[in-house]
Structure 1
Amino acid sequence: MIVIQSRDNPLVKRVHALSTSGRERRKQGLTVLDGAHLVAAALDAGVGVCQLVVSESGLASEEHQALIARLDRLCPQATLPDKLFAHVSGLDTPSGLLALMATPALGAPVATVAQSVVVLDGVQDAGNLGTLLRTAAAAGIQHAWLTEGCAQAWSPRVLRAGMGAHFLMKVYERVDAVSLLADFPGPVMATVLGARSQSLYAVDLAAPTAWLFGAEGRGLSPALLARATCHVHIPMPGAIESLNVAAAAAICLFEQVRQQG
């Protein structure tokens, strides 16, 4: 393991750029896994990493030591002073260990999936997007279609909020969901407020479903909403107008899990 002390080191500059710039991540085809949990999740899923970086204090962690040993001779490893590690991390609470990995290159998604799919439309908040993917993965969803306006799915903040969900499902970005849904074989479900929508708990969710979730505030785009074959709402007896999109998605997806037994 090499020891790096300077901000001018090429590796330091590279990791900092990848941590803070979506443009740089797209240019290099790489992203940053910040934290032992994410790195371990990637390795457990058979995803390799191309660089490991550990802070000086992070070396004392038994969890970090196990990953260092696991990656011995598999990729270059470097240690940085804590202050320099915080600089390259880009997160408010650096974990003390991070790794670089190649961003997966997926082909175009297929509309005729035999399982449910989540369609995320313009979800720009990294925490919400990561939580949505984590929730979907927990509910057994294996496909996520993200429209053009969504946050970058493989950004460090989305990855951290996803807690390993990215490695359990196929996450497609910049998807033309409006066109794809024209060929989707099952119901296309949108959560909306209004008298014409049905209660979520009165709808049969036995079939594979395309779940549409839009950004808070704006909601679903009109074109995407027009593709929905069923409008549902979540009954809320309290005096609250709406739910956070990630919370609403959790209720919907796990109601389907409940119905499917």
Structure 2
Amino acid sequence: MPDMQPSIKVISSAQNDTLKQLVRLIEHARERRKQGLLVAEGIHLVQTALAAGVVCTQLFVNRQALGKAEVLALLQRLPAGVAVFELDEGLFARVTALTSAPELLAICQRPVPPVITGRSCLLLEDIQDPGNMGTILRSAAAAGVTEVFLSAGCVDVYAPKVLRAGMGAHFYLALHEQADLLSVLQQFDGVRLVTSLAGDRSLYQQDLSGNVAFVFGNEGAGVSADLHDAADARVRIPMPGYAESLNVAMAATLCLFERVRQLSPA
């Protein structure tokens, strides 16, 4: 790792081609997928990406943050080959997806997931809300379920809002995009579980000590009939109070941490 601050190029115009490309990546999922890139906004996300070994190609720094010790330390630890650009705060605020300009942001390569392991995993079908997606991924990483399969109908898992909600979890998960969930589920060697208001047993009665494939569906439509039929465990989450159903991110978190509870020593 270099121990000197890298050279920094100043961008002073919104018409700069490098800046225009950054805006396209922030605003358009198709552009991010086409180029195999993501945009990590904020120092925490960038630090986490670098610590996880994610390849970052460009770093954009808010001029007003250049004097901060945390920013200077990150610049000094940057791998060789990362292009660094400086923008004033006003210009930075025009390109970021955040409500206020962060200290910095980075363009990084989307991680390539490793070979499927066959261990416990999440199958996410047509999850549309960025906050829900990021929260589910954060819970999965915290619960030690690191393999996630996403249907083609899901929100872009590397959208800026999803990345922020995930708080760095993305970089420690194997995220399989555009997955054929039915095929994955049919080939899974373990308990294939969906939650259902009509489930024949409580979540807390289900043995989760082995390999489990947790299936969660769209916020409105739920799990599709094909995936529901392919599951061999249909459980309900007890709700003694007044509620028709739980938010999908909350349901996923409860299931993941019930597995943690069952695996934890007494």
TM-score range, shorter chain: over 0.9
Write the distance in 1 (CA, Å) between the matches of 2:46 and 2:150.
Answer: 24
Distance 1:96 1:172 in 2: 31
Q: Which residue of structure 2 aligns with residue 239 of structure 1? A: 242
Q: Is the 8 Å Cα contact of residues 85 and 96 (structure 1) preserved in structure 2? A: no
Contact 1:118 1:144 in 2 (8 A): yes
Q: What SS does the aligned partner of 2:66 have?
A: helix
- The total of aligned residue pairs comes to 257
State the match for 1:7 in structure 2: 14
CA distance in 2, matches of 1:141, 1:179: 20
- What amino acid is the match of 1:39? V
TM normalised by structure 1 equals 0.94
Matches within 5 A, 1:1-261: 1-71=8-78, 73-106=80-113, 110=116, 113=118, 115-194=119-198, 196-261=199-264
| 2:4 paired residue number | none
Which deviations, in whole Å up to 9, do the C-alpha atoms of 1:74-107 show, x marking residues without a partner?
4111111112111221223432210011112347
Length-normalised TM-score, structure 2: 0.92
Task: Find runs of 4+ consecutive structure 1 residues off by over 3 angstroms.
Answer: none
For residue 232 of structure 1, report the CA deviation from its aligned partner: 0.7
Residue 190 of structure 1 deviates from its aligned partner by: 0.3
Q: Distance in 2 between matches of 1:35 and 1:189?
A: 36
Would you say the 8 A contact 1:15–1:89 is kept in 2?
no
What percent identity do the matched residue pairs reach?
Answer: 45
RMSD: 1.5
Q: Provide structure 2 residue ranges, at least 5 long, that are not aligned to the other structure.
A: 1-7
Letter in 2 for 1:231: R
Equivalent residues of 2:128, 2:219 under 8 A apart: no
Q: Find the aligned partners of 2:34 and 2:15 in 1 and give their Cα distance.
A: 21
- Cα deviation for residue 73 of structure 1 reads 4.3
Q: Distance in 2 between matches of 1:131 and 1:98?
A: 21
Give 5+ residue unaligned stretches, structure 1.
Answer: none
- Paired with 1:104 and 1:185, the residues of 2 have a C-alpha distance of 26
State the Cα distance separating 1:72 from its structure 2 match: 6.6
